[in-house]
Amino acid sequence: MARVNVNILGISELKWTGGSGARRGRWGAPGRTRRARGQTEPLCFRCLEQPVSSCHCVLCSPLPALPPRRSPAVWVWSCVAHLLLTWAGAMAQVLRGTVTDFPGFDERADAETLQKAMKGLGTDEESILTLLTSCSNAQRQEIAVALKLCLHALKGAELRAIKQVYEEEYGSSLQDDVVGDTSGCYQRMLVVLLQANRDPDARIDEAQVEQDAQALFQAGELKWGTDEEKFITIFGTRSVSHLRRVFDKYMTISGFQIEETIDRETSGNLEQLLLAVAKSIRSIPAYLAETFYYAMKGAGTDDHTLIRVVVSRSEIDLYNIRKEFRKNFGTSLLFHD
């Protein structure tokens, strides 16, 4: 099924056609634009039906040729006027809403197309453009939500795979072993994380954000002692983008960063775990850059941590981790010792 092909920036692809001399040549219609599938010639930007060569509207007409014995400035200005008209035509088309909902729209299938296109190092630009230019804004929003759901499902599947391999390798369940080796609130937080019950990254509910930020404030700074359960529930089950908003909201409500509160209100292993969760919610590369820093800081090196992070992230985000490291610690990870 052919999709609508809209290229507002098509005007930047005008190419010189015609002879070698400025007088004989002319600026022609776009020589190569992104094409709808199966389409051999670009379509008129305005009607989206006529091929450019057989359309006579202002958008498809060639730029004026340089008139003989006239100043080149006149030609330049007429070209500018032509481009402005072209741009106005394209904008009018957008304002009229030429890109309408694509019939038979399936946001899940489209999100999968996008995810496949963006997978790995290279990006399949062509399929992303084809998809995005053929969707209305509302559909793009739906694709974004579906894409987040896909990624969430992938992360859940990853944790399930780790648990399965652990069981095959060591003959006992990971969760049982964690429970056997830990206790108290630290144990409960680990179990909540292992159950991977984090909400998917869907649309953020601002009322819920406010409620969670207030609940954290009440459970920590405003309370004599600390209600750790509240922290465990919110940190362990809310979606990542929701928690980022909660942290911002918490700062405006309480005047403290959430990390400061965790530092004051909790201690020991639970404190370390909550801090790790909070930092990785803010930014995983920044958190891992910090992990590197502390693994190498001072005398000696925590080789186990270094090896684990390098090996597990080398194909995922090691480049971003290096960037964060340079940003936060003012030195390159490659030459740090």
Instruction: Provide the binding-site residues for Ca ion, judged by CB under 5 A.
Output: 223, 226
Chain mean position to CA 144: 9
* Residue of minimal Cβ distance to Ca ion: 223
Rounded least distance, CB 256 to Ca ion, Å: 12
Closest among 278, 164, 270, 282 to 226, alpha carbons compared = 270
- If the CB atoms of residues 103 and 225 are measured against Ca ion, the closer one turns out to be 225
Rounded least distance, CB 230 to Ca ion, Å: 11
- If the CB atoms of residues 119 and 223 are measured against Ca ion, the closer one turns out to be 223
For 159-175, give the secondary structure using H, E and C: HHHHHHHHHHHHCCCHH
DSSP string for residues in 148-214: HHHHHHHHHHHHHHHHHHHHHHHSS-HHHHHHHH--HHHHHHHHHHHTT-PPP-----HHHHHHHHH
- If the CB atoms of residues 225 and 298 are measured against Ca ion, the closer one turns out to be 225
- If the CB atoms of residues 72 and 184 are measured against Ca ion, the closer one turns out to be 184
Closest among 225, 228, 241, 305 to 269, alpha carbons compared = 228
Rounded least distance, CB 192 to Ca ion, Å: 21
Rounded least distance, CB 224 to Ca ion, Å: 6
DSSP 3-state assignment of 219? helix
Closest among 217, 306, 201 to 253, alpha carbons compared = 217
Rounded least distance, CB 213 to Ca ion, Å: 16
- If the CB atoms of residues 146 and 216 are measured against Ca ion, the closer one turns out to be 216
DSSP 3-state assignment of 234? helix
